[in-house]
Amino acid sequence: MIVQAGDRWCNGIKCGPECTDWDYCVWDSSTSTEKCPSKCPSVSSSTPVCAYISCQYSNPTLPCKCGATNTANTPNVYCCASGNNGGGITASSKSICQANCGIASTPTPTLTSTPTPTLTPIVVCNSASYTSLASAFEFTSSVSAKYNMCGSEQYYKMIVPSGQKCDISWTVTPDSSSDYDLFVKWSVGSFPSKNSYDAKSTNSTGKTDSLSKTQLSGGIYYALVFKDSGTGKYTMSASMSNCASITPPPAPTLAFSANPVQVSSGSSATLTWSSTNASSCSASALPSNTQWSGTKDVSGSKTITNLTANITFTLVCTGTGGSITRSVTVSVSAVQTKQITVVSPNGGETWNPGDTRSITWTSTGINSVRIYLYNSMIYGSGSTIYITPNNNPVSASLGSYSWAIPNISSLPGQGGSVYKIRVEDVDDYLIDDYSDSYFSIIESSTTPVCDSVSYVSYDKAYDFGTSAGTKSNMCGKYQYYKVLVPSEKTCDIEWTLTSAKGSDYDLFIKKDGQPSSARSGYDYISECPGRNCVTKTDVDDVDKISKTDLSAGTYHALVKRAGGSGGYSIVVAVINCKTATQEPPVLTSGALIKLADDFRVYLVIGGKKLWIPSIKVFNAMKLDWTKIQTVGKEEFNKYSEVKLIRAQKGINVYLLVNGQFRRHVPTEAIFKSYGYKWEDIIEFEPTVVEAFPESQLLQLEGDYKVYKLEGIIKRWIKTAQSFEKLGFDWSMISIINKTEFDFYSTGNPIE
């Protein structure tokens, strides 16, 4: 507003000609202002204040000065516009005043006034800041609110000082047209999301959301403001109150020792320990030892017996002030193992009465031995005779004894293919050894006897391998044989059993199991339509079973003597083997598949296969066990494995760790650093994603250290004992690249 000399103005409105006289402005003592009289047109006499204000100096002789107020010794430019301004201003003072104010000294100086336009500021909301966990805004004692915020997801944090507990309060106040929701985590260093939070407030449009928690311990606490609807702004405010210092409880102490710390194998050591400020202790050993495991008293002793290898004993004692770990190692020196091994005869030899033969052996840690001849077909007394006269011991270091074989009548059983040599330690009869198999002692003029003692049990079956073979001159009451059809092959097999004259042997065959002559004891490829059967023939005849296209597996045969005392021969032929063919099933998305030799079940989805690692995941997907199909490796390998998953309508992308655990990929840059593609992400119902446990363990590729992830802070787990104490599984570890490794801050190690 510009004021001219002689004009009268009230509240920015110029008065008419009738207000040209100064006396028309009336002083209002109740408001200490001058007001225009009612003669001023279109001006209310009760509210407008005159533009002219009297100069009020404590010394009226001083000239007026330019300025904005009229207090003592403070200038007012309007005093210069008229010679009748009160305060005793003189004409000379007026000229000086006008000169000081830059007003020409003319009879009628003119001051031009241009009304200042009113500008309404345009406030732009902030949607680009604090959009990631790493850039979360920190509230401090000097900043308690953030105004004009409008991001779809914006993160905030407060830090409770170490050694204190405080109350924390978060409040989101939206404008009337918008709905912003609040999600928080009350655990230190944990990040909230729309799907993972400790508390949430989701009031409707225009409503305030607030969350608070009392007495939170020192650390960083995070909040997420999530835009649910609208395009307006919100104010985020936070407060921390009622902070109180925490007096930490005393740390536990632990003294732990072993006596002695070096023992010989089989000996004992006593562990002694004493702790203070501890309420419980837990024991473990490496390698594990059942005598030192589980919960222990806070003080005590324990003798560990039968130590056979170096071992480290660990004790962890815990109290309100934390935990303490101590370990002691007991070194175990090896004791020379006593051992005897029979070298000859070791099975298959034929000796004659009257001959002198060398019985040989090797030994370790043994002084003297005794030597026996043993007949396995005789039970109890009479099965064994002494080799040395009067059972005298022989020096073990000799390693050999020359035996003059007596006549047949002096031998247990009077000859045959039924003998083994036994050599035992004189000082400890439990340390001994036998010939591995049977040898014969027969008269030189006698026709060799048949083999009745070999292959007499299922676990000692003669193995024909995967081709043809023959065993002749056999005569055991029960003797076992086996033949193999290789994996992924089909073969024809022929069994031919020929009984000696006057004898009858029967043949029983079972796949992948022990055969017997009972009806439920054999499992044949049937030659009898509609039922299983066994080939039985008369005395002096041939039993023969032939079968084509037998699948992979081990086929066991039992030859059972049905009559007579003669022998038999058995011939097995494995022929016409070829690769097994299998028509692959037609698979569609949603199919459940597995390999024949693998227990794992996979879901075919999106052209990939997803391992279903647990019953919880299987049930969350609402799958049907009866729909599982077994497929070949060629069909199975057509599908690559699913690596990335996300909840439907969710924003968090997870990497599957070893197919069993999920790990959040925190940023797009990290996602791209692995070469991942957005189209590789497979979406599931949120309940399916949540059924995969979340992995907290990281390991930089090429490094041995394993870290526990707490929010965006990684902490090195320094020992295997700490790892196991935390209850982690080694399969939970996720190997990450350096881009992701550097994203996380490094915290204190976990001892």
Same CATH fold, 458-579 and 339-441? no
Instruction: Please tell me whether the peptide bond between 666 and the residue prior to it is cis, using omega within 30 degrees of 0.
Output: no
Q: Which of 367, 365, 369 is nearest to 342 (CA)?
A: 369
User: Is the bond preceding 260 in cis, omega lying within 30 degrees of 0?
Assistant: yes
Element (H, E) at 720: helix 720-725
58: its two tokens: 């404590």
CA atoms within 13 A on the CB side of 7: 18
Token pair for residue 629? 């199909």
DSSP conformation class of 18:
G
CATH classification for the domain delimited by 254-333, as one of 3.30.460.80, 2.60.40.10, 3.40.50.300, 3.90.228.20: 2.60.40.10
Q: What is the pLDDT of residues 314-360, one digit of tens each?
A: 999 999 889 999 999 999 887 667 899 999 999 888 898 888 999 99
Across the beta sheet with 299-307, the strand order is 253-259, 267-276, 299-307
Q: What's the Cα-to-Cα distance from 569 to each of 495, 496, 503, rounded to whole Å?
A: 11, 8, 12
Whether pLDDT at 43 is above 80: no
β-bridge pairing 153-174 and 137-138: parallel
Contact 260, 281 (CB under 8 A): no
Size (the chain), residues: 751
Burial class (CB in 10 A: 0-12, 13-18, 19+), 168: buried
Q: Are 63 and 93 in contact (CB under 8 A)?
A: yes
Q: Which fold has domain 458-579?
A: Jelly Rolls (2.60.120)
CA atoms of 335 and 263, how far apart (whole Å): 10
What phi and psi values does residue 691 have, to the nearest 5 degrees?
A: -70, -20
Phi-psi region of 347 (alpha: psi -120 to 50; beta: other; left: phi over 0): left
- Three-class SS of residue 129? coil
For 7, phi then psi, to 5°, come to -80, 160
Q: In what order do the strands lie in the sheet with 469-474?
A: 469-474, 568-579, 489-499, 542-550
Listed range (11-25, 193-207, 482-496, 637-651) with the worst mean pLDDT: 11-25
pLDDT of 300 strictly over 70: yes
Identify the CATH number of the domain defined by range 133-245: 2.60.120.380
543 neighbors 537 (Cβ within 8 angstroms): yes
Residue 29 pLDDT: 60
Neighbours of 642 (CB within 10 A): 22
pLDDT at position 722 is 82
| Burial letters 73-106, b for 16+ CB under 10 A, else e | eebbbbbbbbeebbbebeeebbebbbeebebeee
Tell me the backbone φ, ψ of residue 13, rounded to 5 degrees: -115, 130
- What is the per-residue pLDDT for 85? 42
Tokens of 555: 């086929």
What tokens appear for 621 in the block? Answer: 């997907």
- For residues 89 and 445, the model is more confident at 445
pLDDT tens for each residue of 665-677: 999 899 999 898 8
The pLDDT of residue 532: 36
Q: What is the pLDDT of residues 217-228, one digit of tens each?
A: 889 999 999 999
pTM: 0.29
Q: 3-class SS at 599?
A: coil
User: Cα separation of 214 and 241, whole Å?
Assistant: 9
468-527 tens-digit pLDDT: 677 878 888 888 999 988 888 888 888 888 887 778 888 888 888 888 777 566 765 433
The CATH code of domain 339-441 reads 2.60.40
φ, ψ for residue 650 (rounded to 5)? Answer: -95, 170
**Cα–Cα distance between 285 and 727 in angstroms, integer?**
16
Three-state DSSP at 68 gives strand
Question: Which of 35-39, 391-395, 718-722 holds the top average pLDDT?
Answer: 391-395
Contact yes or no for 303/268 (Cβ under 8 A): yes
Query: What are 623-642's pLDDT values in tens digits?
Result: 888 888 888 888 888 889 89
Provide CB contacts within 8 A for 10, sequence distance 6+: 35, 36, 40, 43, 48, 49, 50, 51
∠ CA 660-664-666, nearest 5°, is 160
Q: What is the 3-state secondary structure (H, E, C) of 137-193?
A: EECECCECEEEEECCCEEEEEEEEEEEEEEEEEEEEEECCCCEEEEEECCCCCCCCC
465 exposure class (CB count in 10 Å sphere: 0-12, 13-18, 19+): exposed
From CA 544, how far away is CA 521, in angstroms rounded? 19
**Arithmetic mean of pLDDT over the chain:** 79
The whole-number pLDDT of residue 571 equals 84
Question: Per-residue pLDDT tens for 352-411?
Answer: 888 899 999 999 989 999 999 988 666 555 678 888 888 889 999 999 999 999 988 888
Helix (H) or strand (E) holding 432: strand 432-434
Confidence grade of residue 20 (pLDDT, cut at 50, 70, 90): very low
Question: Could you tell me the residue ranges of all domains in the chain?
Answer: 1-119, 133-245, 254-333, 339-441, 458-579, 643-751
CA-to-CA distance for 439 and 456, rounded, in angstroms? Answer: 15
180 contacts 225 by C-beta, under 8 angstroms: yes
Cα separation, 628 vs 321, whole angstroms: 53
Residue 41 and residue 43: Cα distance in Å, rounded?
Answer: 5
pLDDT, greater one: 306 or 108: 306
Contacts of 717 (CB under 8 A, 6+ apart): 706, 707, 708, 723, 726, 728, 749, 750
Q: What would the 3-class secondary structure string for 622-674 be?
A: CCCHHHEEEECHHHHCCCEECCEEEECCCCCEEEEECCCEEEECCCHHHHHHC
How do 199-201 and 153-174 pair as beta strands?
Answer: unpaired
Q: Mapping DSSP to helix (H, G, I), strand (E, B) and coil, where does residue 234 land?
A: strand
